[in-house]
Amino acid sequence: MDYREEMKRLREELNENAYRYYVLDEPTMSDYDYDMKNRRLQQLEQEHPEEIVPDSPTQRVGDKLKDGFSPYRHEVPLESLQDVFTAGEVEDFCHRMEESLDGNAAYSLEPKVDGLSVALEYRDGVFVSGGTRGDGRVGEDVTENLRTVRSIPMTLPEKLPRLIVRGEVYMARSVFEEINRRREIEGKPLMANPRNAAAGSLRQLDPKIAAERRLDIRIFNLQLAQGRSFATHSETLDYLESQHFSVIPHKTLLTANACLEEIHDINERRMSYPYDMDGAVIKIDRLSDRESLGSTVKCPKWAIAYKYPPEQKPSKVLDIVVQVGRTGVLTPKAVLAPVHLAGTTVQSATLHNQDYIAEKDVRV
């Protein structure tokens, strides 16, 4: 395939999925497939910069505003993170940090919650407003829906003139499963996965619906604090915990090996957390180091997100049925014993690859 055709196809697929993921909350591909296609497009754009177009998904960060919400302008931008997928890329990042900081790097590492990123603002210790991330600079004002999230404190012990924090709104797996059980009994369509359930609930125009969904939050960054100063990211999280926020668990580490071990340990423990996660975030801990390192146009240079590979779980083929497509094409489909995987319940799989079927000896 000509590289121009491949780039065009990738742009169309990624933009279509982004619309369904962020606006309709109905994703058409897995996060892993999206990441791999996005990385391929980035590679092609690096090789052929003359082919970069304004509507490429690599040229924007975030999602579009949904009708019905007022714009929410972030005084401190909510930056995205560079994704990495291998241990070698983690080691490369740590090596760059060591070089840039004269061998004196310290890291803060935490789980990456798979939810919806928001900013919360407090004035004189009182919650006044909150918004979704949007494109990092302008999001949606969802203040009234955020008021229904019981883990968000409405007042703080210390009455700073102004405080802005960033967190990830999510729906606990137990709540998601309970809501779906109820929807099944009522004959309503089931929610796809906790991430989309959380995003759809927070962006309901009726706050009563958001309240019924029992959303939760983990705070992972201090954006602004008037009247307070801190030396490290870890200090800010400890302070926010003292202010009654539900803070992300975190560890301070000094080497790439220690980071890789913790990434592995988090993955081993991932089902013990109440929320779904899709990776781990590594950040430089000292705030002065972050300032000296700075950011690119889209991402801070002092942080990365390690994305876990797709989950794998065994299931059982209960039946094989044949679907007739619009053009008369016949496609066999395996009916599976339901299994919870990557935040959703998988009950079927298309058997379109005859070589794979023969190699794995797929049968009832």
Kindly list the catalytic residues.
Answer: 112
Q: What burial class does residue 273 get, using C-beta atoms within 10 Å of its C-beta: 0-12 exposed, 13-18 middle, 19+ buried?
A: middle
Rounded CA-CA distance 82/86 in Å is 13
Tokens standing for 364?
Answer: 């009832």
In terms of phi and psi (left: phi > 0; alpha: psi -120 to 50; beta: otherwise), the region of 188 is beta
What 3 state SS string does 221-242 have? EEEEECCCCCCEHHHHHHHHHH
> What are the CA-CA distances from residue 84 to residues 93, 216, 316 (Å)?
9, 27, 33
Rounded CA-CA distance 270/275 in Å is 8
| Pairing outcome for strands 82-84 and 344-350 | unpaired
3-state SS assignment for residue 357: helix
Rounded CA-CA distance 364/361 in Å is 10
3-state SS assignment for residue 249: coil
Contacts of 66 (CB under 8 A, 6+ apart): 23, 140, 203
